[in-house]
Amino acid sequence: MLEVEVKYRANLGKVRERVLAFGFSPRGVSEEVDTYFQHPCRDFAATDEALRVRVSGRSAVLTYKGPRVGAGAKTRVEVSTSAEPTIVELLERLGFVKVAVVKKRREYYEGLGVLVSLDEVEGLGEFVEIEKVVAREEDILGAVEEVRRIASLLGLVEEVRETYLELALKRAANKA
């Protein structure tokens, strides 16, 4: 499966009103801590890959994100599996190095064939992600058009091309 995702900077209060007005269904709220790792033998920044452990409450999900494909959105293969929060220690003992930690409060809404996340990201600001999953690369462009149409309905304008990891690394570099 391919995840087609477009991110926007936005005022979450205004977007929340629009999401509900368009009939999206709330799917939950979570506090998430994403820890990103560098492979000991491969430079994920150079290969445009990512390895993330997302801890929310007492559960964790280990996710590999492949290089971006397609144009016009952040589209990539994602492979995820459930894990225990101790997976972070296991990865470190195997030689993986933490490169960044991103903390966020996320509200999930579903409707019009997409998943919308309203994110308050510590140190980075407020964002909205609109995501659609497709099975084939041939479906990416149509999904991007659909996501952008829904973004327009929600009044979203300021598109952000970087991932939260890229934004966090850029912020850390600017502080140094």
CA torsion angle 155 171 109 31 (round to 10): -150
Out of 8, 36, 109, 164, which one is annotated catalytic? 36
Active site residue 36: yes
C-alpha 155/C-alpha 148 separation (Å) is 10
Q: In residues, how long is the chain?
A: 176
Tell me whether residue 76 is exposed, middle or buried, using C-beta atoms within 10 angstroms of its C-beta: 0 to 12, 13 to 18, 19 or more.
Answer: buried
Catalytic residue IDs: 36
